[in-house]
Amino acid sequence: MFKRVVDFEEANALLRRDGMQVPGLLAYLEQLQRHNVSGLDELVRFTRLAPFFQEGEQLRQLRDVYKDLLDVILNDWSEYIKDTIEKLVDNLDECAEFDLVEELSLKVFDSLLKPTLGLMPADSASFNADTIRLQELVQPYRSLRELKAINQKIKRAIEAVEDTVAAGIVRERTALGHLLRNRAWPERQVDKISIVIILYAATAPLAQTFTNIVAKRLQESRDRTVALSDEEIAKGAAQSYLHRVCKDSAKDSAYNGTYLFDIQAIERGGCPAFPFGHGRHFCVGFGLSRFILKYMVQQFFTKFPTAKILDIKHNENNKIAYEISRLVIRTT
């Protein structure tokens, strides 16, 4: 039913084909609506605003906005990000044992990313539950009941942010503040809020990738205090697949069909070739991710050069990313 690609040369040639597109989630949802399925409106709106599911002019327009938001974060927030990382690492208990995932990796969402994005929902925990695993939920075989549940989550998340906008607590220098005040497109406030929520949902692999990199360093017996290399980032990158559908204009093209490009398996020179994607859908968060990962890894190993792994658990249920769900560490 689909082809799993593991070879670099093959992947490279296939990904360059004109007919190779991201999955047509929008068309899929609209087809459901034409069959009188209701309760998908918010999900449809999200899909229109998510670069993951768009091609052509809409993709170009969206990426322009997303890249602008990331520029705002990198330009205006880098000192804040460094300070916050230092505080988070300082707060880790020096002589005890702790689960790195809970105590550090997952903290990047509330402490680092939300403030820079301008997302300050009153109930932070349920906002996270509604948004951070959105990508994982949007798979083709999800039942209608699940799709409708996702629709509700999106609705709740948007309302939570609308409340903060109405209360006037979204600062101008944040990604959302910038989008609301300085960008004409998209026009509607609800669409602007949606874009920032989508951006937040897209950051999910950052925490996973950080944990993976630390786990790998702890398992290998080499110098832990050296700066983080791009190769190490590539090897720790969490995403499992690039998902594409080939729709060559020739209907009988032998290439037409569904593809999963296996990010972990497709290597070049002993290193994953597309850890942050490829071509026109290349990850817009790469620069920010690299900045955060380098500083966090450096700070962590400066404070805990002799840390050891006591327990490590991998989440088997996560089909779209390599995720360590628990990494218990002893620091001395």
Provide the binding-site residues for ligand HEM, judged by CB under 6 A. Answer: 1-2, 22-25, 28, 51-52, 63, 66, 135, 138-140, 199, 202-203, 205-206, 209, 237-239, 241-243, 245, 258, 260, 275-277, 281, 283-285, 288-289, 319-320
Residue 238 interacting partner from another protein, ligand HEM, none (CB closer than 5 to 8 Å by kind)? ligand HEM
Residue 270 one-letter amino acid = G
Residue 44 interacting partner from ligand HEM, another protein, none (CB closer than 5 to 8 Å by kind)? none
- Name the minimum Å distance from CB 184 to ligand HEM: 20
Using CA of residue 166, residue 167, residue 171, residue 172, what is the dihedral sign?
Answer: positive
Stretch near another protein under the rule CB under 8 A, chosen from 31-39, 42-50, 97-105, 154-162 = 31-39
Q: Give burial (CB, 10 Å; 0-12/13-18/19+) of 306.
A: exposed
Residue among 98 and 241 whose Cβ is closer to ligand HEM:
241
Contact 158, 194 (CB under 8 A): yes
Placement of tokens 């083709």 in the chain: 140
- Name the minimum Å distance from CB 42 to another protein: 18
Residue among 243 and 326 whose Cβ is closer to another protein:
243
Stretch near another protein under the rule CB under 8 A, chosen from 73-81, 138-146, 162-170, 235-243 = 138-146
- Name the minimum Å distance from CB 319 to ligand HEM: 4
Residue 12: which of 261, 332, 215 has the closest Cα?
Answer: 261
How would DSSP label each residue in 270-293?
Answer: TEES-TT--GGG--TTHHHHHHHH
Kind of pairing between the strands at 271-272 and 267-268: antiparallel
Residues whose CB is less than 8 angstroms from the CB of residue 158 and which lie 6 or more positions away in sequence, other chains included: 42, 190, 193, 194, 197
Positions touching another protein (CB under 8 A) are 28, 31-32, 35, 37, 140-145, 147
